[in-house]
Amino acid sequence: MTRRAGLLATCTLLAAAALAGEEKLRRTEIIVGGVPVTMVEYEGRTYRTISAADLAGKRLAGQPCCVEGKYKEYVGDRLYLFDVDASFPVASALVRDIRPGDNVFLAGRVRARGRGAVLTVSVVIKLGSDTEVFERRFARCRAEGRAEALIELGRWIKRAKERSTRLDFREFERYDAMRARALRGGLALLEAKLDGKDAEGFYRLGLRTLELVNDEAAATRLFLRATAADPEHGSSTQRLAAAGYVRHGDAWVTAAERDRLVEEEKERREAARLAAGKAHQAALESARRMASNNAAQRMWIELELAKAEKPEESLLSSLGGNKVLTENRLHVLELAARLPGKDAVGVLVAGSRDAERVVRARAVDLLAVRPEPEARAALGAAARENEDEVTALRAVEALAWANDRPARMALAELLKTKKKPVAAAARAALVKLRGGPLEGVEAWRAWAGTGGGE
């Protein structure tokens, strides 16, 4: 018993040491020659993060550099990492407590050798487990808005899973869930940074969405945003046509939506005929309400917003108009996302209750990237109250992606809903986030209330 207690104490000390080492590393990103480079500060010295390819020449000779990876073995005086085509000279005393499969940080100075260079290591820090490293980097990258770093984190956790030989099925699912969180988080940040008129940007992001997460629905939404910015964007229109969309005016819509728009146009023409004998101001107001022309509607929405004292009320009014085209209701949501704090959340909540599924889905996505606790509450309400099961389940996914304390609390509350698919999805999300099940709603509330710890 004493021996086991000693072993547990040793493991606890090693884990604490790994976490302490990781906490001492301070990472920043700079641009060098148009390329982002990660710099790491440790104990007053700054190191440039490199790859094995950087050691093929001598351009970094004399510079302090670092590399991170998964420890493979130590042979002679050389340390080897998995999937890294280089070895690193290091004193044996520095690797005494390192075991195969550990995540490590190596730092030192690059020395010229032959036709290339070698990183002579003087600092070895054992990092935390794959999950600990992932969660810490995920939180930091999302807080700093580093989209590409999140995507690279998703690739990293995939490689970590492939190199692990002792994972059971549930752990494999946990690694897959972490990968999806990182990739989708990076894609969401990239989308948020795009200019609304950048058709090519939305198209390329759609292709990247297919490449990284193979999500046809998410990619189609991005292709629709591309055609909203440029109705003649050929690559996007080809993708939409292949997915069964048809062109109506300047917009690409489903066949059912096209039929609805045609009917609205008939109503507009009839309303215009009836209004012909009215005063000019009344006719103008009627045209505003009944207009189905995309450009005219959008111009009116933006003019109303520009002169409004309370922007959120103007956008709520535009969103609630039953003659406002789907693409323009989506535009209202994008305008709302730029508002500060609760003003944005109120409009997005209204969008999550829209009659069109594509509008509801976009509102849920935008709520997911908002930091306010009210946004998490709104997602929980959408999951409980929305009659459309697809939208409700999308709200559950958004809460799982957010994975902060309010989001986990909202997921725990959803376990009580009478909507069985929603409750099941919430439970599955919580199990993935925790890495294992708990019994009963109160146990899940307690776990979520402690910040997601064990």
Residue 54 · residue 42 · CB < 8 Å: no
* CA quadruple 323, 326, 330, 335: dihedral sign: negative
Whether residue 44 lies inside any domain: the answer is yes
Whether residue 10 lies inside any domain: the answer is yes
Classify residue 83 as left (phi > 0), alpha (psi -120 to 50) or beta: left
Whether residue 86 lies inside any domain: the answer is yes
Whether residue 109 lies inside any domain: the answer is yes
Q: Output the pLDDT for position 278.
A: 56
Residue type, 416: K
Whether residue 153 lies inside any domain: the answer is no
Q: Output the pLDDT for position 294.
A: 65
Domain with residue 110: its CATH number is: 2.40.50.200
Residue with tokens 């969103």: 319
Whether residue 412 lies inside any domain: the answer is no
Q: Output the pLDDT for position 393.
A: 87
**b/e map 16-35, b = 16+ CB within 10 Å:** eebbebbeebeeeeeeeeee
**Angle separating helix axes 341-351 and 326-337, nearest 10 degrees:** 160
Whether residue 432 lies inside any domain: the answer is no
Distance between CA atoms of residues 297 and 290, nearest Å: 9
Q: What is the 3-state secondary structure (H, E, C) of the chain?
A: CHHHHHHHHHHHHHHHHHHHHHHCCEEEEEEECCEEEEEEEECCEEEEECCHHHHCCCCCCCCEEEEEEEEEEEECCEEEECCCCCEEECCHHHHCCCCCCCEEEEEEEEEEECCEEEEEEEEEEECCCHHHHHHHHHHHHHHHCCHHHHHHHHHHHHHHHHHCCCCCHHHHHHHHHHHHHHHHHHHHHHHHHCCCCCHHHHHHHHHHHHHHHCCHHHHHHHHHHHHHHCCCCHHHHHHHHHCCCEEECCEEECHHHHHHHHHHHHHHHHHHHHCCCCCHHHHHHHHHHHCCCHHHHHHHHHHHHHHCCCHHHHHHHHHHCCCCCHHHHHHHHHHHHCCCHHHHHHHHHHHCCCCCHHHHHHHHHHHHCCCCHHHHHHHHHHHHHCCCHHHHHHHHHHHHHHCCHHHHHHHHHHCCCCCHHHHHHHHHHHHHHHCCCCCCHHHHHHHHHCCCCC
Q: Output the pLDDT for position 322.
A: 57
Classify residue 111 as left (phi > 0), alpha (psi -120 to 50) or beta: beta
pTM for this one? Answer: 0.49
Tens-binned pLDDT, residue by residue, of the chain (454 aa): 444 444 333 344 334 444 456 778 888 888 888 888 889 999 999 999 998 889 988 999 999 999 998 899 999 999 999 888 899 999 999 999 898 888 999 999 999 998 899 999 999 999 888 888 888 889 988 888 889 999 998 998 888 888 776 666 677 888 889 999 999 999 999 999 999 899 999 999 999 999 999 999 899 999 999 998 898 888 999 998 998 888 888 788 888 888 888 887 888 787 777 766 554 455 445 545 544 466 667 777 777 767 777 877 777 777 775 577 777 777 777 777 777 777 778 878 887 887 788 888 888 888 877 778 888 888 888 888 888 888 888 888 888 888 888 888 888 888 888 888 888 888 888 888 888 888 888 888 888 887 654 4
> Containing domain of residue 29, as a range?
2-128
Whether residue 275 lies inside any domain: the answer is no
The total number of structural domains in the chain stands at: 1
